[in-house]
C-alpha cells in the first residue's frame, strides 16, 4: 500500500500538482479512498461474475432442452438489470466521475427489455363477447371465445354433421367477467410474478390461486346466464339434462400442447351444481398439473384463459379413444382404437387396461385385435356422479366393441383428420342404441405424425424368435431384466429409480430420475418435467399421462407388474420403451438408439419471448478494448455494460493518472530466485512493501488464493510439450496460419500478458500458454457465502475437434472436483460458490495444476483412448493434490 501511495505522490510532484509532502491526515484520507476503491472493485467483479452466470443461464434456457416459465426469464433479467445498475455505480466510485452516457444507455436498454417482458394483464387481448354460446352456433372460427376443444367439437357437429352431444360454452368473455368482478386477475398475476419455477414454489402457488378462485363469488349476471342456458338445453332435448362439464382453455388442444388431463372435467353433473363445478374447472387453470404443464410447454401463466364446455351426458355402453395414426410412431400405416366397457374415464386416467385394435389406414382392414385384461367399468349414478364397478369375468374376457363398430369409429377419426388437415386423437362413446358419439377431438403430438416401423427402430426380436440364441449368449454378457410392460411413449432413457406414491414424493425426485408410480394419474405430470422416463404398474398408451409423456419426448413404460416393490430405489436402470423392457444398470448400446435432445420449447410463447429479449441482455458487441468503438455510447446490451465497466474498472484501479496499461506497472514475479513470465499487481494488502527493484518473490505475497493457485501450478513439474503426431502438427500449422486471433501483431484477446492481481483474500489471474488462455478469479475468506472461484479456459492451436477434446477433458476434471461447468466448443466456464475456505484453497490448487498441465494437450487428443489415458493420469495427481 505505501509503495503504491509513494508512486502516486511521485507522479503528482513530477507534474507539480502537489509540491509539498502530504500531512499524515491527508495521507490517511488518501488511504481510505484507495481502500474504498478496492472495495468497490471487488464488488464490481463479484457482480460481474454473478451477471455472467445469469446470462449463461438464459442462454442455456434458449436451447430449450429443459422446460422453463416466463418467471424464470423475468427473474434472471431483473437480477441482471439490478446488477448492471450497481456495476455502473461501482465504476463511478472507482473512477470518481459520473457515467452519464453509460446511464443513458442503461435506461434505453432496460426500456427495451421491459417492453418484451412486461406481462400482458388484459387476458391476452380476448375481445368482449357473449357469456354463453350454444354449441349449434360454434365453429372453429370461434376459437378465441370458446377455446380449441369446443371449437373443434362445434366444427364436427355443425360442419361435418357428426353425432356430438348438444350443449353450450361458457366463453372467454365470461371468464374475464369473473376475473374482473373480484380483481382476481391482478392478484393472480401479482402472486405468479413473486414465485419461482421450483416445484415447491409451484405447489404453494397452485394451492393459493385455486383457493382465490373457489372463494370468489360468481357475478350474478353470469350465474343467471348459466341457468338460462341449462333451461334452453332442457327444452331442446325435452328433459332435465345430466351434464358433462369440460375445460376448453385458450391454447388447449393445440398442436404440441394438448393439456391432456391437466384441467378438471366433471361427468354426470346436475344443472343445480353447474355454478360450483364451473368455478372448480376455472380453478383447475391453476392446479399444480396445469401450472407445471404450461411451464414445460412455454405458455405464459398470465395468458391463461379458461372457457368451459357444457354437454349433454351420454350413458355409454362402451367408450375409448381413436388415433388416426399410431401415437407411438411404430405402426406407420395404422390407425389405433382403444376401448373399454362403460365410460372411458378409467382408461384415460390410466386406471385400467383396454382393448386394442389396429386398422390399416388405406383399407380399414383390422390388422390386430387384442382383448385387454379389463377389470372394472365406470357407470353413472342415477342422480349425479359416477362410480366404478367390477366387471363380470365373462364380460371382461370379451372385446368391448366388435369389428363393424371399430370400422365406424375408424371412418369418423379419418374424416376428422382429413377435415382438420392433421392426425387426430378422438374420444368417443357408444350409446346403448349403438350410435357412435364424438366427445372430443384434438391434434396428435407432432412426434407421432411421421410414424416409423419396428424395422426402422431396429427393435431386437424376442429371444424365442431370435436366431442363434446360444451363440448370442456366449458373445454378450447377460443383462438383468427387471420387467416388461406396454409402450406408452417411445424412447430409451437411463436414471436412478425414484418411487412416487404421493405428490410430496415429487419434491425429492432428483433431476434425470426414472419416476415409478402405481397408476399413471395426470397429477403426476409435474414430475415429467425433470424425470428421464416414467414407469407405471397400471395404465396404457391411451391415458392422459401417456399423452403428456409423448409430447415431452419422455419414454414411458406402463403395465409393469409390481414395479414399485421390485425396482431398486436409487439404483440406475435403463428404460427401453422401444423394446418394452426395463434393464438393470446403464446400457450404452440401448442409449445409442436415442435421438439427440431437441428444443422442447421451440415455438412456445415463452421461448419466443426469451429469444426477443436475449439480444438486449446477452449479445456482446464490445469486444476489443483497444478499439475506438469500445465506448459507453456503443453499449447495446447489458452484457456490453458489464464488459465496459469491467475493462474501465481494471484500468482505473492501476492507472494512477497515466495512460499506460496497468500490467506494465506491476511487479515482476520471482520464482526460485528467477524471473517468471508473470507480473503481479497488489490491490493494497498483499505486498507489505516487500518489492525490491519492482520485483516480488512468490513467498512474500500475502494472498491466500494466490498461494493456493501457485502451489497447484508448481506441485508437479511440467514435463514439457507432449510428443506431437504428424497430423496434430499439421493442424497446428494450419491454425496458426489462418486464425488471425493468434497473430500477435493484431489486436486480439490473446495478446495479453500473464499477470496476477492479488489481495489478502482475492486473486484475479490471466495467463496465456501457447495458443490458449485462461482466467481465474477467486475470493477466499471466512465468510462462506462470499467465497467463489470463477474459471474460464479457451483456445488452442490444433483443429476444432482436438480443441474441443481438450475442453471436454478440462470440463470432466472440473466436474469431478465439484465445479459447475459449462462447455461450448473449445471454451470451458466453471464456477464454485459458497464453500469453506479450506475447500476453496484445495480447489484453487487443483485449478493451478489443470492450468499448467493441460497446455498443448490439444495437439495429442486425437482419440478416446488418448483422452482416457490423460484423464486417468491427471485425475490421480489431482486426487493427491486436493487431499
Angle (CA) 585-590-596 rounded to 5° is: 115
Question: In this structure, are residues 340 and 362 in contact, taking their beta carbons and an 8 Å threshold?
Answer: no
**Residue-level pLDDT at 772:** 63
Query: Distance between CA atoms of 684 and 699, rounded to whole angstroms?
Result: 17
Write out residues in the chain with pLDDT < 50, as ranges.
1-5, 7-9, 11-19, 21-22, 27, 120-127, 253-261, 447-476, 655-665, 724, 726-752
* Strands, E assignment, 219-281: 243-247, 266-269
As a three-state string, the secondary structure of 647-710 is HHHHHHHHCCCCCCCHHHHCEEEEECCEEEEEEEEECCCCCCCCCECCEEEHHHCCCHHHHHHH
Instruction: Please give the CATH number for the structural domain made up of 326-433+444-448.
Output: 3.30.470.20
Query: Distance between CA atoms of 301 and 196, rounded to whole angstroms?
Result: 12
- Looking at the DSSP assignment, which residues form a beta bridge with residue 168? 134, 310
Fill in the DSSP letter of residue 96.
T
How is residue 633 written as a grid cell? 455510447
**Residue-level pLDDT at 120:** 46
Ranges of each domain in the chain: 37-118+610-659, 132-312, 326-433+444-448, 478-586, 667-882
Write the CB contacts of 137 (distance below 8 Å, at least 6 apart in sequence): 154
Burial of 503 per CB tally in 10 Å (0-12, 13-18, 19+): middle
**Residue-level pLDDT at 421:** 83
**Residue-level pLDDT at 514:** 94
| Class of CATH domain 132-312 | alpha beta
**Residue-level pLDDT at 707:** 94
Question: How many CA atoms lie less than 13 Å away from 652 in the CB half-sphere?
Answer: 20
**Residue-level pLDDT at 25:** 66
Instruction: Please give the CATH number for the structural domain made up of 478-586.
Output: 3.50.30.10
φ, ψ of residue 21 to 5 degrees: the values are -60, 150
Q: By three-state DSSP, how is residue 360 classified? A: strand
Cα distance between the two ends of the chain: 35
How is residue 185 written as a grid cell? 386477475
- What does the pLDDT look like over 29-42, one tens digit per residue? 655 666 677 678 77
Q: Which residue, 414, 407, 419, 383, is CA-closest to 159? A: 419
Q: By three-state DSSP, how is residue 370 classified? A: strand
- What does the pLDDT look like over 520-567, one tens digit per residue? 887 787 888 789 999 998 877 767 677 778 777 789 998 888 899 889
**Residue-level pLDDT at 196:** 63
Amino acid at each position: 500500500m505505501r509503495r503504491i501511495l509513494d508512486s502516486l505522490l511521485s507522479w503528482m510532484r513530477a507534474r507539480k500538482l502537489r509540491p509539498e509532502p502530504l500531512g499524515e491526515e491527508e495521507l490517511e484520507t488518501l488511504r481510505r479512498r484507495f481502500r474504498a476503491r478496492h472495495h468497490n472493485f471487488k464488488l464490481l467483479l463479484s457482480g460481474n461474475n454473478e451477471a455472467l452466470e445469469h446470462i449463461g443461464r438464459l442462454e442455456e434456457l434458449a436451447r430449450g432442452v429443459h422446460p422453463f416459465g416466463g418467471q424464470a426469464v423475468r427473474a434472471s433479467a431483473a437480477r441482471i438489470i439490478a446488477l448492471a445498475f450497481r456495476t455502473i455505480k461501482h465504476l463511478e466510485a472507482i473512477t470518481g466521475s459520473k457515467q452519464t452516457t453509460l446511464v443513458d444507455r442503461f435506461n434505453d436498454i432496460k426500456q427495451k427489455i421491459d417492453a418484451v417482458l412486461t406481462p400482458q394483464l388484459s387476458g391476452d387481448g380476448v375481445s368482449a363477447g357473449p357469456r354463453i354460446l350454444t354449441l349449434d352456433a360454434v365453429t372453429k372460427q370461434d376459437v378465441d371465445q370458446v377455446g380449441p376443444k369446443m371449437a373443434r367439437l362445434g366444427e364436427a357437429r355443425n360442419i361435418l354433421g357428426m353425432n356430438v352431444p348438444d350443449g353450450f360454452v361458457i366463453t372467454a368473455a365470461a371468464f374475464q367477467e369473473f376475473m374482473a368482478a373480484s380483481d382476481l386477475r391482478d392478484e393472480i398475476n401479482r402472486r405468479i410474478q413473486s414465485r419461482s419455477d421450483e416445484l415447491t414454489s409451484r405447489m404453494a402457488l397452485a394451492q393459493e390461486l385455486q383457493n382465490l378462485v373457489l372463494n370468489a363469488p360468481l357475478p350474478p349476471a353470469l350465474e343467471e346466464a348459466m341457468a338460462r342456458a341449462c333451461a334452453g338445453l332442457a327444452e331442446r332435448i325435452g328433459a332435465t339434462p345430466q351434464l358433462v362439464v369440460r375445460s376448453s382453455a385458450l391454447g388447449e388442444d393445440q398442436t404440441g400442447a394438448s393439456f391432456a388431463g391437466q384441467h378438471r372435467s366433471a361427468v354426470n353433473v346436475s344443472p343445480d351444481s353447474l355454478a360450483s363445478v364451473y368455478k372448480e374447472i376455472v380453478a383447475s387453470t391453476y392446479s399444480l398439473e396445469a401450472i407445471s404443464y404450461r411451464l414445460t410447454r412455454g405458455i405464459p401463466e398470465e395468458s391463461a384463459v379458461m372457457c368451459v364446455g357444457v354437454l349433454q351426458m351420454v350413458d355409454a355402453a362402451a367408450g375409448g379413444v381413436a388415433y388416426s395414426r399410431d401415437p407411438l410412431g411404430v405402426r406407420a400405416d395404422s390407425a389405433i382404437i382403444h376401448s373399454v366397457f362403460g365410460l372411458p374415464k378409467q382408461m384415460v386416467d390410466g386406471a385400467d387396461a383396454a382393448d386394442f385394435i389396429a386398422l390399416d389406414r388405406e383399407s380399414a382392414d383390422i390388422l390386430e385385435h387384442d382383448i385387454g385384461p379389463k377389470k372394472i367399468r365406470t357407470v353413472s349414478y342415477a342422480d349425479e356422479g359416477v362410480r366404478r364397478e367390477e366387471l363380470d369375468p365373462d364380460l371382461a374376457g370379451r372385446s368391448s366393441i366388435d369389428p363393424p363398430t371399430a370400422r365406424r369409429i375408424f371412418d369418423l377419426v379419418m374424416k376428422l383428420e382429413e377435415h382438420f388437415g392433421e392426425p387426430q386423437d378422438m374420444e368417443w362413446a357408444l350409446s346403448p342404441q349403438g350410435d357412435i358419439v364424438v366427445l372430443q377431438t384434438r391434434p396428435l403430438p407432432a412426434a407421432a405424425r411421421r410414424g416409423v416401423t419396428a424395422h426402422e427402430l431396429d427393435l431386437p426380436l424376442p429371444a424365442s424368435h431370435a436366431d442363434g440364441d446360444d451363440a448370442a449368449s456366449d458373445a454378450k454378457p447377460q443383462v438383468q431384466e427387471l420387467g416388461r410392460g406396454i409402450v406408452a411413449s417411445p424412447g430409451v432413457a437411463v436414471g436412478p429409480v425414484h418411487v412416487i406414491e404421493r405428490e410430496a414424493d415429487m419434491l425429492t425426485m432428483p433431476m434425470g430420475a426414472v419416476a415409478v408410480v402405481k397408476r399413471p394419474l395426470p397429477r403426476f405430470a409435474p414430475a415429467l418435467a425433470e424425470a428421464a422416463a416414467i414407469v407405471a404398474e397400471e395404465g396404457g398408451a391411451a391415458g392422459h399421462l401417456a399423452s403428456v409423456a409423448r409430447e415431452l419426448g419422455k419414454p414411458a413404460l406402463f403395465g409393469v407388474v409390481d414395479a414399485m416393490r421390485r425396482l431398486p430405489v436409487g439404483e440406475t436402470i435403463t428404460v427401453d420403451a422401444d423394446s418394452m423392457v426395463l434393464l438393470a444398470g446403464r446400457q450404452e448400446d440401448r442409449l445409442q438408439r436415442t435421438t439427440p435432445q431437441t428444443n422442447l420449447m421451440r415455438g412456445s410463447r415463452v421461448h419466443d419471448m426469451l429469444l426477443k429479449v436475449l439480444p438486449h441482455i446477452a449479445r456482446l458487441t464490445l469486444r476489443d478494448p483497444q478499439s475506438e468503438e469500445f465506448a459507453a455510447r456503443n453499449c447495446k446490451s447489458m452484457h456490453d455494460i458489464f464488459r465496459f465497466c469491467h475493462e474501465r474498472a481494471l484500468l482505473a484501479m492501476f492507472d494512477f493518472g497515466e495512460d499506460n496499461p496497468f500490467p506494465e506497472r506491476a511487479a515482476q514475479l520471482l520464482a526460485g530466485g528467477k524471473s517468471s513470465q508473470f507480473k503481479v499487481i497488489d490491490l493494497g494488502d498483499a505486498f507489505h512493501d516487500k518489492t525490491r527493484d519492482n520485483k516480488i518473490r512468490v513467498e512474500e505475497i500475502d494472498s491466500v488464493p494466490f498461494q493456493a493457485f501457485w502451489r497447484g501450478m508448481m506441485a508437479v513439474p511440467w514435463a514439457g510439450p507432449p510428443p506431437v503426431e504428424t497430423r496434430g502438427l499439421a493442424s497446428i500449422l494450419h491454425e496458426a496460419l489462418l486464425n488471425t486471433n493468434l497473430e500477435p501483431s493484431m489486436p486480439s484477446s490473446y495478446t495479453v500478458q500473464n499477470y496476477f492481481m492479488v489481495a489478502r483474500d482475492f486473486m484475479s489471474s490471466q495467463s496465456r500458454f501457447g495458443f490458449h488462455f485462461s482466467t481465474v478469479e477467486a475470493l477466499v475468506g471466512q465468510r462462506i457465502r462470499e467465497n467463489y472461484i470463477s474459471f474460464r479456459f479457451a483456445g488452442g492451436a490444433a483443429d476444432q475437434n482436438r480443441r474441443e477434446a481438450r475442453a471436454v477433458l478440462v470440463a470432466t476434471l472440473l466436474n469431478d472436483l465439484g465445479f459447475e461447468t459449462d462447455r461450448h466448443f473449445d471454451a470451458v466456464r466453471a464456477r464454485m460458490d459458497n464453500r469453506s475456505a479450506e475447500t476453496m484453497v484445495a480447489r484453487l490448487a487443483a485449478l493451478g495444476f489443470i492450468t499448467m498441465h493441460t497446455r498443448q494437450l490439444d495437439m495429442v487428443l486425437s482419440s478416446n483412448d488418448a483422452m482416457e489415458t490423460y484423464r486417468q493420469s491427471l485425475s490421480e495427481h489431482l486426487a493427491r493434490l486436493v487431499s
